[in-house]
Structure 1
Amino acid sequence: MSETRILPPFPEHQPEPEHRPAEPGRPRRGGLVALVLAGSLVVGGAAGVGGAAAWDAWQDEAGAPTPDRQVARVADTDDTPAPEGSVEQVAAQVLPSVVKIDVTGPGGSGSGSGIILTSDGQILTNHHVVEVAAQGGSLSVSFDDGTHARARVLGTDPLTDTAVIQAEDVSGLTPATIGESANVDVGQQVVAIGSPFGLDATVTSGIVSALARPVNVGSDAEGNATVYPAIQTDAAINPGNSGGPLVDLDGNVVGINSSIRTAGSSMSGSPSGSIGLGFAIPIDEVMPLVEDMAAGETPVHARMGVGVGTAATTDDLTADGAVIREITPGSAAEEAGLEVGDVVTAVDDTLITDSDSLIATVRSYRPGDTVTVTFTRDGDEQTAEVTLESDAELSNS
């Protein structure tokens, strides 16, 4: 049976919300896999040498081909440059801008991925990757060239599951190129890079399967939902990919790999791997927050000032929309004339299917933006212009 799971660093002792972020991989397990792979490579190399020697001897004994008997030839092929826009070319371009992040803390240890933002070591990753180090823990960053550095957290944003860290005493790094997630289309080819299960510099590819998919990965300490309008992809994303980039075939970062849907647990009880349902946070949604986090400030988000629930199904028909359950006095929603019981069905051109959809959509705007809210009241469809406010004073939406 499939289930949608959030993959926090250490799921054994944490509740399981509807989705699970692609958790930091477990270093011990990753180390074992790496060790097995290394052993396989050594054996394979030895077998290759022996095989080459045996081939030469066989060739000497077999003699030259005859008209009735042909033998295999060894091709002399060149390592040709990667075609522009190929996965090979994208990997070569982006890998120097992706890091592995190892985390230790009172709650355990794990690993994830990150995206280099500046040449002096500012790195974008997921909140759930670094939160284990929040209380007396430590961060270590591994770069593409094999070097390592300690790091510290500059700022985190649980509501978008993002964080910015600073690698210490580094320079000359290769910053990633930031793209525009607004220009991403369904069916477009994308590449994911990260450290699944601790295997750093892993490259996978696929397509964009869906856009603006509301993904709920839990809530913060105040009970505010962490929901974002995700880019869905079938590129393989696994525990440890969290915080790594999803890029287009120009090598531009369009999303941050963050959560996956799994098919349940494996025989060992650990979460199963990728089934082609991965989710990335659109880069457009978080770049305005990066400057706040880098400065150690609390990021702010847009809100309407309402508490919402999902519309109830009636007459055996599925009802779309988010029902307004409460309105904060003096909020943007109240000033726009919205009332308790109104069912929001659209914000600008985005259809609202449920409460998560409304929260994710509103957070994709910035405080001060004006949006057109379509809603139904007593069966009549109406619209209202709402100037979104800041969540400096928190509410549900």
Structure 2
Amino acid sequence: MDAPRVRTPPTSPALVAAVVCGAVLVSGCAAGPRPAGSPAAADRHGVATAGRAAELEDDYRDAIRNVLPSVVQIDARDTVGSGVVYDDRGHIVTNAHVVGQEKDFRVTVATGEEPLTAKLVSSYPEQDLAVVRLDRPPEGLKPAVLGDSSDVEVGQIVLAMGSPLGLSGSVTQGIVSATGRTVSESRAGGGTGATIGNMVQTSAAINPGNSGGALVNLDSEVIGIPTLAAADPRLGGSAVPGIGFAIPVSMVRTVADQIVRTGRVTDSGRAALNITGRTVLTDDYRPGGVAVVEATPGGGAAEAGLKPGDIITRIDDTPITTMTSLLEALAPAKPGDEVTVAYTRGGRSLTARVTLGEI
């Protein structure tokens, strides 16, 4: 949508001190440590808790102070989104659905109040990523530091930075709720319709305008590009609070590096059967598989013996009923991986081992 470790210190066991006094003691014996529930112990616990809270607040402030200058607002003709400064030459990575069909943009950066002009370098809707470049990069332009997708863990505290509803420089916080999600983007509202794998799910609020911004860890590293918020069709397609998705930084690097270097994506890193297909319906008009319209000569499917007219019904253990489900099944895979494809031909059930090619 334009608009996607906290370690709790172990509790030490209470120390119990036994103080034995003589029965005929004249003067009082020295007191041992106060019971854990005493006012002094409570005070010490409160001070320690306040200290940890202050340290966490400092971590938040440091991350915001370090990364927010690298997050920009992108104004297209009809949309407002966000972007992340990719290098000091003025390249900015954002979502493809933020740029849409536009070629020219106004970008508001943290180093100046006046919007700057920028032009599209290239858009890659298949992964909902794009790169624009400032016509005149200002001095002091600060590229973001990109993290490592393999270090992202469930429960990790993250911040979402961007321009929700046009409110530039906004920050929300949450945790990594899950990793490795495969999400299909709607075409409604300007979406690209892409099926994106390995996305980071987060509870940090992602609202219209956050798209293309930064999902950041407390080490001041960008670990994803907020792109989507979950929508509930039972609520008229309204966004579901606390469920947002970000493209992992590994894919951001793969796509943006190629666009910056060559002006386009030549190696998608995404697996494919190398077919043209269409969804077919069963006799009761339910989606029943993907019919092969064309198997690209030399591609994985053709090499494994699939032909036009075959109907794909399963990839490994995943049922295939539509083109979307086929894309979702392949999203986590990589070119060169092998999968078992179940299909029907003339009423017969067959299987084939297919070495995946590339989109």
Deviation at residue 365 of structure 1 after TM alignment: 5.9
1:284 aligns with 2:250: yes
Q: Aligned equivalents of 1:140 and 1:193: distance in 2?
A: 19
Deviation at residue 228 of structure 1 after TM alignment: 0.7
Deviation at residue 176 of structure 1 after TM alignment: 1.1
Residues 371 and 273 of structure 1, relative CA distance in 2, 3 Å threshold: closer
Q: Aligned equivalents of 1:200 and 1:264: distance in 2?
A: 29
Partner of 1:181: 149
Question: Which has the greater radius of gyration?
Answer: 2
Q: Quick check: 1:322–1:345 contact (8 Å CA) kept in 2?
A: no
Partner of 1:103: 76
Q: Aligned equivalents of 1:187 and 1:380: distance in 2?
A: 44
Partner of 1:344: 314
Deviation at residue 227 of structure 1 after TM alignment: 1.4
Q: Aligned equivalents of 1:121 and 1:195: distance in 2?
A: 19
Residues 356 and 284 of structure 1, relative CA distance in 2, 3 Å threshold: farther
> Relative to structure 2, which stretch is displaced further, 378-387 or 199-208?
378-387
Give the letter for the 1:197 counterpart.
L
Q: Quick check: 1:140–1:149 contact (8 Å CA) kept in 2?
A: yes
Instruction: Give me the TM-score of the superposition, normalised by structure 1.
Output: 0.62
- Which structure 2 residues correspond to residues 225-304 of structure 1 after superposition, within 5 A? 226-229=194-197, 230-262=199-231, 275-295=241-261, 297-300=263-266, 301=268, 302=270, 303-304=272-273
Q: Percent identity?
A: 31
Partner of 2:120: 153
Partner of 1:192: 160
Q: Aligned equivalents of 1:194 and 1:110: distance in 2?
A: 14
Q: Quick check: 2:276–2:292 contact (8 Å CA) kept in 1?
A: yes
Which secondary structure does the structure 2 equivalent of 1:277 belong to? strand
Instruction: Give me the TM-score of the superposition, normalised by structure 2.
Output: 0.68
Which secondary structure does the structure 1 equivalent of 2:79 belong to? strand
Structure 1 residue runs without a partner (length 5+): 1-20, 25-76, 392-397
Deviation at residue 182 of structure 1 after TM alignment: 4.0
1:123 aligns with 2:92: yes
Residues 312 and 161 of structure 1, relative CA distance in 2, 3 Å threshold: same
Which secondary structure does the structure 1 equivalent of 2:219 belong to? coil
Q: Quick check: 2:60–2:218 contact (8 Å CA) kept in 1?
A: yes
Partner of 2:26: none
Deviation at residue 381 of structure 1 after TM alignment: 9.0
Which secondary structure does the structure 1 equivalent of 2:89 belong to? coil
- Which structure 2 residues correspond to residues 1-397 of structure 1 after superposition, within 5 A? 21=1, 23-24=2-3, 83=56, 86-104=59-77, 109-134=78-103, 138-147=104-113, 148-169=115-136, 170-210=138-178, 211-218=180-187, 226-229=194-197, 230-262=199-231, 275-295=241-261, 297-300=263-266, 301=268, 302=270, 303-308=272-277, 323=290, 325-330=292-297, 331-338=299-306, 340-346=310-316, 355-360=323-328, 362=330, 369-377=335-343, 384-389=353-358, 391=359
Summarize deviations over 1:45-74 as a string: whole Å, max 9, x none. xxxxxxxxxxxxxxxxxxxxxxxxxxxxxx
| CA RMSD between the two structures | 3.8
Partner of 1:49: none
Summarize deviations over 1:173-229 as a string: whole Å, max 9, x none. 22111123344333333221110001111111112233322223339xxxx952112
